[in-house]
Structure formats: C-alpha cells, structure tokens
Structure 1
Amino acid sequence: MTTGRVTSLDVAALAGVSRSAVSRVFTPGASVSPATAAKVREAAEKLGYRPNVLARAMLTGRSHIIGLVVAYLDNHFYPTVLEQLSAALEREGYNVLVFMAQPSADGVDDTVQEILDYQVDGLILASVALSSDLADRCRALGVPVVLFNRRQGEASEIAVVSDNARGGRLATRHLIEGGARKIGHIAGFEGASTQVDREAGMMDELARHGMRLHAREVGNFDPEEARAAARRMFARPDPPDAVFVANDYMAFMVMDVLRTELGLDIPGDVAVVGFDDVPTASFDAYSLTTIRQDSAAMVAATVTALMDGISGAAEPPSAPLPVDLIVRRSTRPPRG
C-alpha cells in the first residue's frame, strides 16, 4: 500500500485506464465493462483507495445517500424498520445515513440542517416532524422528504402511515367484546399524528357503543413515563378493567407495573392492548394483544415514494396502509 492520500489518478495509472473510467466504476448505475471494473477494483485494493463520495456528489449532483432521521430507536418497531429500509434502499443503489433527533421541531430542524450538508439525495423522517420553513428549503434544494409513520397535515407532504384510526377502533371493539366496561387509555406523545389518530379511533368506537373513556394518562412513548402513567391510573379509587396503550413499548411497561407492583392479573383483572406488534409482543412473558402495522408494506411504500421524489414524479400515497388486530393472552375472549 502507498503512503499518503491515494487519488483516482493513481488508480487510473496503475489500472491503465482513464480517470473517468475509475469514476464510473465507483458510481452506482454507471456503464462500465466487467473487464475495466475488475482492473480498477484490483488497482484500488492494492493502493488502498476509497472514493470520496461527497466530492463525487459535488460533481454529479447525486450522492446516492439518503438521510434517515429517527427519534425513538429504543422502541423496537424502529430498529426493525431501519434494517428493512436500509436493505431496500441498498437494492436501489443508495446508502443510508442515520441521525438521532429529539422529537421537538427545533431538534429535528437542527438535525436536518446538518444532514443537508452531506448533499443527501432524499430524506426520511421517522416519527418526527419538520418545520414548514425547513420543508420549503428542502423543496427548493430538490431534496424530497418522506414522512414515515407520521403526518403533518400539509397538502404537499409525502407521508406513509398506517390506518391508525382503524387500529384504535379495532383495539377498543375487542376490549368491549371481551366484557370491558371501564376502558382507560395511556397516550403517547400528544403532538404525534399517530397518537391523535389512534385515540380518535378509540373514542369513535366508545361512542358507537354508548360508552365514555373511563381514565386517561400520558406516557409520551417513554418507558418511565408509561410506568408512572400506569401507577397514576390504577391508584384511583375506581380503576379501569381494560387499557389501550398507544404502542407496545409502553404497554410492556404498563404490564410490568400491573403485575409486579400492583399484583393484578392480566387479563383477569385488567385487559391490555398495545399497538405495533413488535417481536417482543409475542414472547410468553407478555403475549400482548396488539394492532399490527405492516412494516414491510410501509417500507416498500416509503422507498417507492422517495424514488419517485428523486426522479421528480412524486405523488402523496393515496390512503393509509391496513392494520390487523393480533389477539394474544393479554385480553379476554369475546363473550358469548
């Protein structure tokens, strides 16, 4: 291996090809013969050459990098989605840069400003929101933005979401059919469209059965806040006999409090429903009844929308993706 910085000129000289041929070999989708590619890669390996992706982006206008902003990696739904997104984008010839952000608008904006410096070809925002000013800047730069598992309600946005309202209805209907009459709700982050829609579906189903919400607390999609919310809810003189929790991650914390701290039986004393169907939900320790989001379908729709946006043919997805009720042992079976 040579010492010092190795350039594409060095690789071209050793391989006996032009500098442009070296560039084509390391540009996804570029046309180059197998024989030339083999010579270039062999020379690059000998010299320890690695292409400067950012420099290439300055020349071509394309970095083949997608920025992914996520706020809740501790929620098991997102590591699964991140793996699926990375694999799907790699098949399209793109690499992924992952950035963590605070769910607040300021935190997300700061992170996106940083990502734009990497000359990314597109952005995926997973359960975080973008200010309208920064969204306008992304559009001006020609960087398409796809919202994953979140809506902002703007007409021009490209958002991929599940049918969260239907999920709330399905969860509530199942609890009622199992005999629940005092249903509580532990909400997630109240600024999230997912939370708003899931709760709206729940309230619609309660009203359809002539019922009201018995108790409500906020867990903010945070494990410790979910524990505290469960303690408050079940410290009241007339606690619920069932609870719909806005996602599985919080539901696990709620179940731990009910069983280990309060000595309650699930589902005998309290039935519990979550949302997402992360892998842990099927473990015997929880066996959580939940609403399944089809992460594979969401990822496919996201990648399609992003590729359309990069090519200039973006159209917002027409409808939310379907969800399913997955019944396990944390709820009571329908009566009768």
Structure 2
Amino acid sequence: YLIGIKEKVLGGERLSFPEAKKLLEVGKTNLLELILIANQVREQFFGNQIGLCTIINAKSGRCSEDCKFCAQSSRYQSECTVYPLLNIESIVQAANHAASQGIPRFSIVTSGRSLGQKDFEKVIKAIQTIHQHTKITVDCSLGILSSEQAVALKKAGVERYHHNLETSPSFFSQVCTTHSISEKIETLNRAKEVGLSLCSGGIIGLGETPEQWLEMVFVLRDLKVDSIPVNILNPRPGTPLEDIRPPSPLQVLKMLAIMRLIVPQTEIRLAGGREVNLRDFQAAAFWAGATGMIVGGYLTTGGRSLSQDFQMITDLGMKWNSHQ
C-alpha cells in the first residue's frame, strides 16, 4: 500500500481522505517506511532547504476569547505576561535583531480577537519602518481581519498572513466557543483575495482524534495555504487543558509524515511545543516531512538557542535560507 501511495504522490496526484485515513493504520513496524517516503517527497519538492522564521509577541494576554489551550485568555487563571502593544521602536529593533542573525522571516503577532484601529495603525507604521531598515520578510498574525485591514497590510509590504485554524471544523467548538472556524476561514480568504500568502495550521494534542487532525489538513489543502505551522500542545497551567497528555514523539512523526503526503508542496513548519514533545526526535521531524521551523521562542513559552537549531540543520545535511 505504501509503495502505491509513494508513486501516486511523487507522480503529482492528490491523496483522497480515505487514502490518508488508511495511513493512520501504519504501526510501529512500518513507521520508518512511511517516514522515508515522506522524506523522499520532501526532497523532491523542497530539496534540502529548511525555512526559518521568528515571531514577536507584540501584544500579550487579556484576550477576550476562550481557546482552551491558551494562557493568553483572560478567562483563565494562567500565568501569562500581560502588556499592551509594544512601541514601534521595540518591534523594529526585534526585526533588526532577527535580520542580523540571518533569519529571513519575521512575524508580528498580537493577542486578542482582532486589533483596534489605533493599534493596527501602529503596526502598519512599524512594518513600514522595518522595510526602511532591513530586507527581512514581514508577516503578520493579528487575529480576525477586515477586508480594509487586509488591503492595508498588503500595501505596507506584508508578505504573508498567519491565522491558525487550530483544529478541524468538527472539533473546533470543543476548543473555542467565542468565535467560529468559519470566521477564521473568512479571514484567510480575505487575506488571499488581496494577494497575501497564507500561513495556517493547528495544534496536535487538543483531544482531537487523528482523523480530525487529517480533516483539518484537508481543509488547509482546499484553502491552498502556503505554510502550515504544526504546534504540539505544551499544556499551560491554569488553562482547561492543563492536565491533558501530549502525544508521543512517534505519534507526532507519523502525523507529520501523513501531512507531507497530503500536501506535498506546502511548507510544514515546526512550531510551539517541538522541543518538549519531540525531545530526542526533533531532528527526525525533518525526515518525516517538515520543511521549516519557528526559531527563538513562541508566544507564551521559550524555545531553545538559535545555535542549537542551526547545528541540528547542519547535522541533518540540510541548509537554511537566510536573507532572500
């Protein structure tokens, strides 16, 4: 079965949902074979390039939404640093710092359902200033977006808009009740309409079934997103999901490999939770089909040092893209 799937994907054909679902039956004995196939697919479409990006948590906490995994929600007694939108200088400084370390993409991320007009204008100003100082690619993740805001971001020179679905349509209401997945999809479509590239993914381990995770990947394939960040739940104390057991490293590798076969030409980016959940298997995630990662820490959790990540890529015989 695996050989047939490999030939199909390498030949440019798309997997159906039943075909992808059947791959969930792959046990430990055949897992390496599945991973090797995902690796061949990755090599065919991406060579040995690993895409790096970094994010700045430009506005933290006090979020009105009730996403059960998130320490930034104002509804839970979780430990989260709270601050309003950073000043323009701080955002520009962070972008310059990222550029000086050779990281090609920098994303401005803000907490909350969406950004108020005053804050939004500050972000636009920050983006314009970054472009005056450096060649770094600027992306944004500012929550639900209006069409006017999407146009303004494109005009300011933003390349990509990030907005995670978090999970599948059939599981979403178990994770969040204050907004719907269709609102998220509308935001992605608005960004796409004005010519922004799309970055959207989710979190493995929220309590969804493996089939539901794949359901989300198929939705993302239909939306033609360019990059899929994969977070692995790192349960935050004080949130409703604080006691959930995260998936094992091998489960994560299996999911990554199946994803690579569903979306052979889409970037799959390792994101939050990669260090604590993949542990000694972190490098193997690239053989399983990952083609990028967020470096330098996440929204409410730290990452590891940049030199460790650079070393891992070098040890794998791969290269990272510094400035385009």
Per the normalisation by structure 2, the TM-score is 0.29
Q: Pick 1 or 2: higher relative contact order, CA cutoff 8 A, min separation 6.
A: 2
